[in-house]
Amino acid sequence: EMDDGLEEAFSRLAESRTNP
Amino acid sequence: GGVGMPTGSYVAPKTVWLAAMKAKGLEISGTFARRGGIIQMDLSLTNKAMSVMTDFAIQFNRNSFGLSPAGPLQVLTPLSPNQTIDVSLPLSMSGPIMKMEPLNNLQVAVKNNIDVFYFSCQYPLSLLFVEDGKMERQVFLATWKDIPNDNEAQFQIKDIHLNSDVASNKLQGSNIFTIAKRTVEGQDMLYQSVKLTNGIWVLAEMRIQTGNPNHTLSIKCRAPEVSQFVFQCYELVLKS
């Protein structure tokens, strides 16, 4: 579950960088 | 390298560091290599004088990362006129430190039986990229957030025709590690980390768009003066 959280966090980071 | 070659970081071709006309006939060309954590200065010494050269020794001036010879310069036989010998000098990072301009500049003194000669050369920062530079994913996310935006530098890596997996593998050979990859709106975003021998961490985001040979590299580091030198290494490795 913790790893799922990390996966999600990287997705959010990539999203935020593409659409700031 | 081909099949069976030891793997290691990118090694640039040797270039002439000391011209014979400036050193009473001694020509020195060289490059730097990191192989499995061992750092070396690879030198070719050529005698372009009329007499034999002996009694070689080498010394470094203090430099930004404490690079210093880990042993003597091993030239075991006299160097005859027109003879070239290749020597590998093992290096350590435990020498005295003084910030150089540019940061990766190294001032070297070489002596032989004729005189002492001085030259400067620059090492690729990848010489200092350690093998355990893969940051924990959680630590990466926290550190990326923690480093202020003012410390972020952006660069264009132009004319690279590699997809993100090939680029990632190539970079890993020089201890630039991919921690995560995401695809957003047709762009692959690679999150990467690098650790220098002095413990400085460098975090990077590389954007690769399908069909676009120009990649965007964003670098975040608490010591932002190293960023442009890390960018240089990306270019060298990806274009090699």
Per-residue pLDDT reduced to its tens digit, B150-176: 999 999 999 999 999 999 999 999 999
Interchain contact A8–B (C-beta under 8 A):
no
Interchain contact A1–B (C-beta under 8 A):
no
- For residue B99, the distance in angstroms to the closest alpha carbon of chain A comes to 34
Average of per-residue pLDDT across B185-200: 96
Average of per-residue pLDDT across B6-14: 81
- For residue B176, the distance in angstroms to the closest alpha carbon of chain A comes to 18
Give how far Cα B130 sits from Cα of B133, B142, B195, B202, Å: 6, 21, 6, 12
Interchain contact A13–B (C-beta under 8 A):
yes
pLDDT for residue B2: 45
* A to B CB pairs, distance under 8 Å: 27
Selected for mutation to probe chain A from B136, B144, B154, B182 (highest A CB count within 10 Å) is B182
Give how far Cα B123 sits from Cα of B11, B43, B119, B179, Å: 10, 13, 13, 26
A10/B182 CB distance under 8 A: yes
Give the CB-side neighbour count of residue A20, counting CA atoms within 13 A.
Answer: 1
C-beta separation of B210 from B186 below 8 A: yes
Comparing C-alpha atoms, which of B130, B107, B103 is closest to residue B119?
B107
Choose between B189 and B211: higher pLDDT: B189
pLDDT for residue A4: 77
Q: Is the ipTM of this complex over 0.95?
A: no
Cis peptide before B96 (omega within 30 of 0): no
Nearest residue on chain A to B209, judged by CA atoms? A18
pLDDT for residue B15: 98
d(CA B203, CA B218): 8
The string of pLDDT tens digits covering residues A1-20 is 457 789 999 999 999 999 87
C-beta separation of B193 from B133 below 8 A: yes
C-beta separation of B106 from B91 below 8 A: no
Largest alpha-carbon pair distance within chain A?
27
Candidate from B185, B191, B218 with C-beta closest to A10:
B191
Interchain contact A6–B (C-beta under 8 A):
yes
Nearest residue on chain A to B181, judged by CA atoms? A10
The string of pLDDT tens digits covering residues B62-121 is 999 999 999 999 999 999 999 999 999 999 999 999 999 999 999 999 999 999 999 999
pLDDT for residue B218: 98
Selected for mutation to probe chain B from A2, A3, A4, A6 (highest B CB count within 10 Å) is A6
Interchain contact A10–B (C-beta under 8 A):
yes
C-beta separation of B26 from B49 below 8 A: yes
C-beta separation of B188 from A18 below 8 A: no
pLDDT for residue A2: 56
Interchain contact A4–B (C-beta under 8 A):
no
